[in-house]
Amino acid sequence: MRDQSHLRHQDRQTDHAARRRRLAQVVGENGVALIAATPERNRNNDVDYPYRPNSDFRYLTGFTEPEAIAVIAPGFEAGDYLLFCRERDVEQEIWVGRRAGPEGAMAWYGADSAYDIDDFDDWLAKLLDGRQRLYITLGTHKEFEHDVLRRMEKLRSQGRRATPPNEIVSLDRILHEMRLRKSAAEVDLMREAAATSARAHAAAMRAVRPGMHEYQLAAVLHYEFEMDGMSWAYPSIVGAGENACVLHYIENAAPMKDGDLVLIDAGAEYRGYAGDITRTFPVNGRFTAAQRELYDVVLAANRAAIDAARPGEPVNAVHQAALHVLVEGLVRLGLLEGDVEDVIETERYRSFFMHGTSHWIGMDVHDVGDYKSGDEWRLLEPGMALTVEPGLYVQAGSETAPRRFWNTGIRVEDDIVITDDGCDVLTSDVPKDADEIEALMAQGQSGGGA
C-alpha cells in the first residue's frame, strides 16, 4: 500500500527547497518572483472539479491547496521564501477539508515566513519596493498576473513613495528548463506512476472480452489506478476497431467486437507526475495475420526509437528512427508505394502516421521544455523524460491500403528517462511483444477475468 498522505494535501518535501534556491539565484536581490496557485474551477452549481494545482507552483512549493501565493524575494527582511495561504478555519475544515495554515506552511513546507492569503495585497507594495525585476508567470493565472501588474502601475504612478520593478521577466522559461531535467526523486515518482499505469494495462488485457463496452475496460484501468491511490493523468482513451483510428477518442462508448483490436492510451498520476502508456491488443485474445503484420511494424518502430534515445542525440533522432521503420513497413506491406526516402521527404506517410513520436513527460503529461533551441533540435541529456509512441492508423476506405488493414489503429507507447549511456524504460511492466500479449490474455481468459 502506497503512502496516501498526498490525499491530505501534503507533498513529501524532496527537492523543493533546492529548486527554490536555484530560482532565488536567478532572481537575485534585485528581483522578486511571484507564483500563484491557479484557482479552483467550478463544475456545476456548488460542485467544483477536484483541485489540481498548476505544476509550476507545485514543483516549487509541494503545496497542494488552492488560494496560495509563493514569493521568492532574496534578502527580504521576512525571509527569502514567503508563502501566503488560507488561514486555518475550524468551520471550513469540517465542511471542506484540512488546511495547513501559515503555521503548517512554515513547519512542513519550508517557508521562512507565511501569512494569510487575504493579507497579500497589503504586502505587495513592500515586496515590490526597490526591486528592479519582477519574475512572474505569463498566462497561467491571468487574473492574478493582471492584478499584480495593475498594482505595479499604480505604485509607479504614486511616484517617490515606492520604486516598483521596471522590468518583467517570464518565469515560464526558467521554471520549464528546470522541470525538463528530472532529479532522482522525480524519476522515482514517475516510476510509481508508470508501474501503476502498466499494471492497469495488464489488467485490461486480462479482462477484455468481445461484447464488453469500451467504458467497461476504462473502468478496469481506473479501478487499478484508484486502488493505488492515484487518478488518471489525462482522460483515458479506449477505442476498438475504427475508434482506434480517432487519436483523441475519449467517448469510450462502443461495444468491442470479436476480431477488433482495441487501443488503450491511459496513464495514472502520482503526486503530480504522469504516466502515459498505449497498448493495442486483440479483443478476442488473438491477433489476426493482418493485425499482426501491422502491429509488428509499430512495435519495431517503438524499439528502434528507444534504441536511438541516448544522451547527446538530438531529440528528433527518436522520431526519425521510428519514422524509418514505419515507412519501410508501410512500403513492404503495400500500403504505400515508392522509395522509402521519397515517402519520408514528401510526407506521404502522414495519412497513416500523423503525429509525432515523442513529447516530454513529467508533471504535465505533455510536459514543458523547449524541443528546439533556435533552429536546432536540442540534445538529449540524462534526466530528460519523454514518451516513445509510434502508431499506424488505417481508416476504412483508404485508397492505397489493402482492405485487410482497414479500421485498424495501432500505437505502442512507453515512457523513458535518458541515462548516462542510453535510456531507462519506465513502462516495461506491461508486455508489448505480440506473443507475450497473447500469453497474458490467455491467462485472463482461463482465470475468468481481471
Catalytic residues: 46, 248, 265, 276, 355, 359, 366, 389, 393, 411, 413
For the bound state, the minimum distance from the C-beta of residue 204 to Mn ion, rounded and expressed in Å, comes to 14
DSSP secondary structure, 150-190, as one string: HHHHHHHHTGGG----SEEEEHHHHHHHHHHB--HHHHHHH
State the Cα angle at 13 between 8 and 18, rounded to 5°. Answer: 150
The span from the CA of 253 to the CA of 230, in Å, is 23
Q: Which is nearer to Mn ion, 175 or 264 (CB)?
A: 264
For the bound state, the minimum distance from the C-beta of residue 41 to Mn ion, rounded and expressed in Å, comes to 23
Q: Which is nearer to Mn ion, 284 or 387 (CB)?
A: 387
Site string for Mn ion, 356-385 (x = CB under 5 A): ------------------------------
Hunting for cell 490474455 — which residue is that? 441
User: Considering only residues 275-294, where is the footprint of Mn ion by CB under 5 A?
Assistant: 276
Cell numbers placing 283: 479483443
DSSP secondary structure, 117-151, as one string: GGGHHHHHHHHHTT-SEEEE-SSSSHHHHHHHHHH
Residue 234 binding result from Mn ion, ligand GLY, none, given CB thresholds of 5 to 8 Å by partner type: ligand GLY
Binding region for ligand GLY (CB under 6 A): 234, 265, 276, 359, 365, 389, 413
Q: Tell me, what amino acid is at 96? A: V
- Residue 186 found at the interface with Mn ion (CB under 5 A): no
For the bound state, the minimum distance from the C-beta of residue 301 to ligand GLY, rounded and expressed in Å, comes to 15
Hunting for cell 509550476 — which residue is that? 56
Cβ-proximal residues to 248 (8 Å cutoff; 6+ apart), any chain: 237
For the bound state, the minimum distance from the C-beta of residue 413 to ligand GLY, rounded and expressed in Å, comes to 6
For the bound state, the minimum distance from the C-beta of residue 412 to Mn ion, rounded and expressed in Å, comes to 10
Stretch that binds Mn ion, among 59-67, 160-168, 255-263, 272-280 (CB under 5 A): 272-280
User: Considering only residues 247-266, where is the footprint of Mn ion by CB under 5 A?
Assistant: 265
Stretch that binds Mn ion, among 67-75, 172-180, 289-297, 387-395 (CB under 5 A): 387-395
The span from the CA of 87 to the CA of 303, in Å, is 52
- Residue 387 found at the interface with Mn ion (CB under 5 A): yes
Cβ-proximal residues to 257 (8 Å cutoff; 6+ apart), any chain: 210, 240, 241, 283
- Residue 414 found at the interface with Mn ion (CB under 5 A): no
Cβ-proximal residues to 165 (8 Å cutoff; 6+ apart), any chain: 31, 32, 128, 131, 132, 133, 134, 152
- Count the helix, strand and coil residues of the chain and give each as a percent rounded to the nearest 5: 40, 20, 40
Q: Which is nearer to ligand GLY, 136 or 365 (CB)?
A: 365
Half-sphere exposure of 102 (CA within 13 A, CB side): 14
Residue 407 binding result from ligand GLY, Mn ion, none, given CB thresholds of 5 to 8 Å by partner type: none
Q: Which is nearer to Mn ion, 33 or 263 (CB)?
A: 263
For the bound state, the minimum distance from the C-beta of residue 234 to ligand GLY, rounded and expressed in Å, comes to 5
Q: Which is nearer to ligand GLY, 56 or 276 (CB)?
A: 276
The span from the CA of 279 to the CA of 230, in Å, is 20
Q: Which is nearer to Mn ion, 228 or 413 (CB)?
A: 413
Residues in touch with Mn ion (CB under 5 A) = 265, 276, 387, 413
